Amino acid sequence: MAFNPRILLGLLSLITIGASADLPTLYEYYTEGGINSGLSVDQPYFTLNGKNISIYSGAIHYFRVPPELWQDRLRKLRAAGLNTVETYIAWNIHEPQDGVFDFGDGGTESGGWADLPGFIKLAQQEDLFVILRPGPYICGEWEFGGFPSWLLRNDGIKLRQDDDVFLNYVQRYFDQLLPILSELQFTKGGPIIMVQVENELGFSWYIDTNYLQKIYDMVRGGGIVELLSSCDGASSEQIGTLPGLLFQTIDFGSDIEGNFGKLEEIQPNKPVMAMEFYPGWADHWTEQHHTTDPNDFRNNYEQALAWPGSANLYMFHGGTNWGFLNGANNGVGDNSNFQPITTTYDFDAPLTEAGDYTPKYDIIRELTKKYSAVETYTPDPPEVKERRVYSSLDLNGQLRFEDILRQAPDKIESDVPLSMEMLPINQNSG
């Protein structure tokens, strides 16, 4: 009989499956016997479908990663022992023009940068649960906090406040977004276990509880039945939430006792969770690349898991701020200091901008295995992508600035300077 390599590959696959057959996947374990309930915080620990769970999560923003690399990054996240992926949802990606929406084709194959449903389905395919943070404001060092720039064409609009003009735009956007998310909720057989309402409203913004209540009502009214959360700092003056309606999470990367302890005071008899647990930080232009010591990260992360607490690593894989979509940080009052974010969003994360493993990745694998109360099948880390060197190119010409201007598709004459949002281009979306 002639040698057939397909048979050998099939036998190896059976051996691999047999070796792990005694360990269920996440979905096998948490959906065994049918789905009766979602993520619960009615006790001092999380339960999912009635079973205990600690949320070991990592942030990957689909809009910062080329779609053809989504699967690789998600597989590496699951192989680190994490059970959940978190992402912001960037409004300006999905409504680039006023009233024109783009959510891709919803398939698990690449449907473009805006294929949010495809990313969510791919996460489930890779045995991951999903936390979504649709804002509408998402911060994240992203252009205009995720708001479409054309919103500023409305003179006097009040962002993130109880303003009818702004809220009407949010409602129109949510009317397109939420039906897509609704069908992908855990209690409907999908991966979404938690949805955050707004984002860090208490950090540096006037806390308009009427506005927050209306965003909450939109999300619930849009068919989202899973756990709804908010996210802020741990100090009492930084809390922007709706007690009894939103599960409160916080942001930090150190002083676990101080932060989780404060959260337990604010929100007693509930599980504690860091929605943004920082293994690194973003870079601003003119600064040195931010790095954090892996040993410091190990100590902080282990203290958080041993509390016991849940944590979403922000970022697990930062990716890239493509085009002109990098945002900026800015202080308030006397601390005002404009700090534009670089193109890279490496964040000194456990997985580099290029998708390579770092010492922090190995630490995560070690600690999630140590503290996981439930042992499920965890795949081995995928191989790192092959690197190639581009061939050299000879320069044989140049374009002068006036040559570029002559080729510009839109030419606008104005006696006064116009902001980019007010330019009558892009279907009057600036």
Whole-number pLDDT of residue 20 = 55
The question of whether 276 is a catalytic residue gets the answer: yes
Instruction: Give pTM, 2 decimals.
Output: 0.92
Percent of the chain with pLDDT strictly greater than 70: 92
Q: Specify the fold of 23-386.
A: TIM Barrel (3.20.20)
pLDDT average, residue stretch 153-171: 97
Whole-number pLDDT of residue 16 = 39
pLDDT band per the 50, 70, 90 thresholds, residue 11:
very low
What's the CA gap between 153 and 150, in Å, rounded?
Answer: 5
Sheet with strand 47-48: strands edge to edge: 39-40, 47-48, 51-52
Reported as type and span, the H/E element at residue 19 is helix 5-20
pLDDT band per the 50, 70, 90 thresholds, residue 335:
low
The number of residues in the chain equals 430
User: DSSP assignment of 283-343, as one string?
Assistant: -BTTSPPP---HHHHHHHHHHHHHTT-EEEEEEEE--B--TT-B-EE---GGG---EEBPS
CB 274 within 8 A of CB 252: yes
pLDDT band per the 50, 70, 90 thresholds, residue 239:
confident
Of the candidates 141, 200, 226, 353, the residue annotated as catalytic is 200
The question of whether 226 is a catalytic residue gets the answer: no
pLDDT average, residue stretch 185-202: 97
Reply yes or no on whether the pLDDT at 88 is more than 60.
Answer: yes
pLDDT average, residue stretch 150-154: 96
294-306 and 359-371 are packed helices; what angle lies between their axes, rounded to 10 degrees?
20
pLDDT band per the 50, 70, 90 thresholds, residue 331:
low
Of 203 and 314, the one with more pLDDT? 314
Reply yes or no on whether the pLDDT at 372 is more than 90.
Answer: yes
Of the candidates 126, 141, 276, 353, the residue annotated as catalytic is 276
Amino acid at 101: F
Of 224 and 21, the one with more pLDDT? 224
What's the CA gap between 371 and 233, in Å, rounded?
Answer: 25
Tokens of 37: 């309930």
pLDDT average, residue stretch 202-228: 92
Give the residue extent of every domain in the chain: 23-386
